[in-house]
Structure 1
Amino acid sequence: MPKLKREEGEERATDFVESLDRGLRLLQAFGNLSGPMTLSDVARAAELPRATARRILFTLERGGFVASDGKLFKLTPHVLTLAGAYLRSNQVVAVLQPVLDRISSAAQEISSLALLDGDEVVFIARGSPARVFSTGLDIGYRLPAFCTSVGRAMLGRFEDHELARRLRAMRREALTPHTVTDPKALLKTIVADRSKGYSLVDREAEPHFRSISVPVRRYDGTIVAAINMGAHVDRVPLRELTDRFLPLLREGAEDVKDKLL
């Protein structure tokens, strides 16, 4: 008898591996607290029974992802192989990294590449000028999408009705006195940014920082990422973002359009 084929989107209970889900949640729990954690700390942070957390920690320790002195547990650098595998296999990073390096060198400012992950943006690559002391958003850093220039550039990929729904549903807490949180005002801004082809945010995500971003499109015009440049408000005036940074960002995004699948 031939096997029945599942319809697309249909999920069976047997397709879900609960132990793997718990293990991943436990790994993420280490980011909730700084420094080594006790078994009780880990179980509480991961919302798991103590006995379950103990078994998972033992398994992760055997795999080299966790180290313990018998009382305290901490992640090992081996965990970075998971992030490294993602970065090495991601076409967007491979294609955009030379662009980030080029525009950073030209502007003598840090440039970053971000992806949209739910209601947040995550920074996955950066280019930095040849200066010993440079600061910027680290790879893996996350911020709310609604109040960042990269987030607004990528949110512009949604149709107006879907964008309005997402803005109403997402958590919108003010990060600075300048943060816009009203969903109608945000919708108007993002629609206008989509028309302009760039997004500029002034002190909404961080109190002394402004940034400008452009969407990165693949061959068919779909927005898949965003690249940005920014600086401290006391060092770079607002007009410089559009006069000097924006042309570099636009050129870089246009150069990769036909290379992204």
Structure 2
Amino acid sequence: MVKPRRPDGEPRATDFVESLDRGLRLLQAFGARPSPMTLSEIAGLAGLPRATARRILFTLQHSGYVSSDGKLFAPTPHVLTLAGAYLRSNQIVTVLQPALDQIAAAAQEISSLAVLDGDDVVFVARGSPTRIFSGGVDIGYRLPSFCAAVGRVLLGRLSDAELKTRLSAMKREALTPQTLTDPKRLLAAIIADRARGYSLVDREAEPHFRSIAVPVKRYDGIVVAAINIGAHVDRISTDEMNKRFLPLLRENAEKVTATLV
């Protein structure tokens, strides 16, 4: 007979499947390097004993998620089914994709959709002005939230007290000479961005790149995502971002609010 949950609804310690957690950690370890790795390398990156990593790898190989030549291991395209499940089932991606395409076509720049994942932002959709390959962030690309325009917009949904605590606790390494890392200055910047309804970050996440972002709110006003337009500093000025891109982003973000639940 299945034992009832605790009165507070929280899962019991016995509900945690440690082997599944280890398997997911091991899959994530493949993202640290672009080439196949040995058992020892994967175990080290995943923080697992070699014997444990070996059993998990063989299980994943049996399920089709990992391939091996007997010495080196690599993920297979089957891993993408995990990401595909998120993208196909996520309402935000489904609703925002047409808006991203419209923004990209009007601005002739790449527009992206991001959500908060821990202390990072992860880009989950994008619109491109052409069908030919163009540079820009890929789906699944991650950045520290504190130095990205989409990240500051998303952090702005926190109360001032929560934001102060979050910024103090998170890792804040400078990615460029322009990266703002001081928690007091970041707090002030994010609060100011929240008040004006957008964030413009200039060369803080990448040395030659600037981005402007606005929040995406659901029907009840809660911020659930952020959309942006980013461009190389030699091509687009901050003034042009404010004048041309900000109204475009705001208009499309407002259009979808009523449909997000």
Question: Which bin holds the TM-score, normalised by the shorter protein?
Answer: over 0.9
Alpha-carbon distance, 1:133 to partner: 4.3
Q: Distance in 2 between matches of 1:224 and 1:258?
A: 13
Matches within 5 A, 1:12-161: 12-130=12-130, 132-161=132-161
Structure 2 match to 1:257: 257
Q: Distance in 2 between matches of 1:5 and 1:17?
A: 16
SS at 1:121 equivalent: strand
Alpha-carbon distance, 1:3 to partner: 6.2
Q: Distance in 2 between matches of 1:65 and 1:3?
A: 33
Q: Does the 8 Å contact 2:219/2:259 carry over to 1?
A: yes
Structure 1 match to 2:237: 237
Alpha-carbon distance, 1:11 to partner: 3.4
Alpha-carbon distance, 1:5 to partner: 4.5
Alpha-carbon distance, 1:7 to partner: 2.4
Q: Tell me the percent identity.
A: 72
- 1:223 partner amino acid: V
Between stretches 25-34 and 194-203, larger displacement belongs to 25-34
Q: Distance in 2 between matches of 1:211 and 1:33?
A: 27
Q: Distance in 1 between matches of 2:26 and 2:108?
A: 40
Q: Output one character per residue of 1:48-89: Cα deviation in whole Å (capped at 9) or x when no partner.
A: 122211111111111100011111111000000000000000
Q: Distance in 1 between matches of 2:162 and 2:216?
A: 20
Q: Distance in 1 between matches of 2:14 and 2:95?
A: 38
- 1:255 partner amino acid: K
In the alignment, is residue 213 of structure 1 matched against residue 213 of structure 2? Answer: yes
TM-score for the superposition, normalised by structure 2:
0.97
Alpha-carbon distance, 1:4 to partner: 5.2
- 2:137 partner amino acid: L
SS at 1:25 equivalent: helix
Q: Distance in 2 between matches of 1:9 and 1:200?
A: 41
Structure 2 match to 1:226: 226
Q: Output one character per residue of 1:143-202: Cα deviation in whole Å (capped at 9) or x when no partner.
A: 010111000011110111111111111111111111111111111111111111100001
Q: Distance in 1 between matches of 2:160 and 2:33?
A: 38
SS at 1:31 equivalent: helix
SS at 1:21 equivalent: helix
- Tell me: CA distance 1:3–1:206, structure 2 relative to 1, closer, same or farther (3 Å): closer
TM-score for the superposition, normalised by structure 1:
0.97
SS at 1:146 equivalent: helix
- 1:150 partner amino acid: V
SS at 2:220 equivalent: coil
Q: Distance in 1 between matches of 2:45 and 2:163?
A: 33
Q: Distance in 2 between matches of 1:228 and 1:8?
A: 39
Q: Distance in 2 between matches of 1:10 and 1:115?
A: 25
Q: Output one character per residue of 1:83-117: Cα deviation in whole Å (capped at 9) or x when no partner.
A: 00000000000000000000100111000000011
Flag as ranges the 4+ runs of structure 1 deviating above 6 A: none
Between stretches 112-121 and 46-55, larger displacement belongs to 46-55
Q: Distance in 2 between matches of 1:127 and 1:240?
A: 20
Unaligned runs of 5+ in 2: none
Alpha-carbon distance, 1:33 to partner: 2.0
Alpha-carbon distance, 1:8 to partner: 2.6
Between stretches 38-47 and 16-25, larger displacement belongs to 38-47
- Tell me: CA distance 1:133–1:28, structure 2 relative to 1, closer, same or farther (3 Å): closer
Give aligned pairs, total: 261
Q: Distance in 2 between matches of 1:87 and 1:216?
A: 17
Q: Distance in 2 between matches of 1:160 and 1:98?
A: 33
Q: Distance in 1 between matches of 2:28 and 2:199?
A: 31
